[in-house]
Amino acid sequence: MTVRSYTRPKVAGEQTVWTRITARDSLARRLDWPLLGAAVTLSLLGTLLVYSATRGRTDLNNGDPEYFLLRHFFNVCVGLGLAAGMIWLGHIRLRTAVPVLYGLSVILSAAVLTPLGSSVNGSRSWIKLGGGFAFQPSELVKVGVVLAMATLLAAPLENDHRPRPDSRAVLQALGLAAVPAALVLLCPDVGQTMVIAAIALGVLLASGTGRGWIIGLLGLGVAGALAVWQLGLLDEYQINRFAAFANPALDPAGVGYNTNQARIAIGSGGLTGQGLFHGSQTLGQFVPEQHTDFIFTVVGEELGFAGAGLVIVLLGVVLLRGCRIAVHAPDRYGTIVAVGIVTWIAFQSFQNMGMALGIMPVTGLPLPFLSYGGSSMFAVWIAVGLLQAIRVRSRSRL
């Protein structure tokens, strides 16, 4: 048998093909496979959980048990495509388009406050697209805020070699976060506003912003929350949610019904759960919004403590790899973007699982990768694509 060596192609055509193959091999080696594997596993697990929560919901699936299963899987596939697009573009090339992306997210966030917007569960946060599809601009806002703030704060650090951004840059960055946050709060969507605030704080920390700014912002946040409460800017259903959180025994058949049923579902799972597709609370449709906001209750009931622990571990892998990517990023901009994404996924995951367990107030946030919803799935996979793009262009192997 004759063995040919392809280490040095002899003709131009072979050289071109060889270069492309080598580039693809190099890209494959530089991808963060633990991050990608954890994200894909969570998304596929979410597909099964969404199916379990909706296959018997004839009031939602129009008599088609696989309605949400197929749509959720489609959303995952589109999300993977968006992630691939981010890797192909690269975080540096995407940097030039950040003003357009940020401006588009702000315009769409304002559009939901017009007749174009549609209300779901008391929050005017959606734009109906037809065919049963809807888009939630606040999910795009999170991507836009991360990129816009990182672009603004990284410029003086990279160009002027400053150790930290000056006060003017910090104020401008806060303004970039405040505009869409205010629009989202007017919907009203307190949960997404909290995520944007957490992102802003994470980005400022990653940029090296002084301690005084961080302490001042935390104090301002507490004062702002008290002012919103005292001025009566919250809707009645939002006040009821916080009241039920403060007193779980308050009206268990009314305002406390969601959290009460969620804890029953999770508690009934025990160590190993009742089995996928066999949860009594899920089959009985006792937990509202179980395929979206309360998907973690399906995990706890049907997969038990072991399954819930696995979900937390997989999310931990995503966050840990994101932190490592931030440490080894090729530039300060990449570091700030990575930290902003990690903060976003970490805070939103904790808030979602916390409200299912009764340790956080109900805010209507989806669980990243698992909850049903195209806007959320697309946004979180764009975030994964950005992390991978930064990883591919880092100078060190993780």
**DSSP assignment string, 257-283:** HHHHHHHHHHHTTTTT-S-TT--HHHH
The pLDDT of residue 211: 80
Q: How many CB atoms lie within 10 A of CB 98?
A: 20
Can you tell me the mean pLDDT for 155-164?
Answer: 77
Q: For residues 150 and 336, what is the distance between their CA atoms, to the nearest angstrom? A: 6
Q: What pLDDT was estimated at residue 248?
A: 60
Q: Are strands 133-135 and 117-120 parallel, antiparallel or unpaired?
A: unpaired
Q: In what order do the strands lie in the sheet with 117-120?
A: 117-120, 123-130, 133-135
Mean pLDDT computed over 70-82: 96
pLDDT in tens, 162-206: 778 888 889 999 999 999 999 998 888 888 999 999 999 999 999
pLDDT for 326 equals: 95
Residue 126: φ, ψ to 5°: -125, 150
Q: What is the pLDDT of residues 240-256, one digit of tens each?
A: 666 666 556 555 555 56
Residue type present at position 208: G
CA distances from 32 to 295, 316, 342, 392 (A): 27, 14, 15, 8
- Write down the pLDDT at residue 7: 39
Average pLDDT for residues 337-347, to the nearest whole number?
97
Give the amino acid at 393: R
With a cut of 70, say whether residue 232 has pLDDT above it.
no
pLDDT value for 242? 64
Q: Is the pLDDT of residue 398 over 70?
A: no
Residue 13 binned pLDDT confidence (cut-offs 50, 70, 90): very low
Q: Is the pLDDT of residue 233 over 80?
A: no
Q: Pick the closest to residue 173 from 195, 193, 203 (CA basis).
A: 203
Q: Report pLDDT for 226.
A: 72
* Closest listed residue to residue 339, CA positions, set 183, 173, 201, 140: 201
pTM, full prediction: 0.87
Q: How far is CA 159 from CA 94, 156, 165, 338, in A?
A: 18, 5, 11, 20
Can you give the pLDDT at residue 362? Answer: 81
The mean pLDDT value of the chain amounts to: 84
Q: Report the pLDDT value the prediction gives residue 395, as an integer from 0 to 100.
A: 63
Whose CA is closest to 34, among 388, 396, 393?
388
- pLDDT mean over 278-301: 89
Task: Give the pLDDT mean for 98-117.
Answer: 90
According to the model, what pLDDT value does residue 335 have?
A: 95
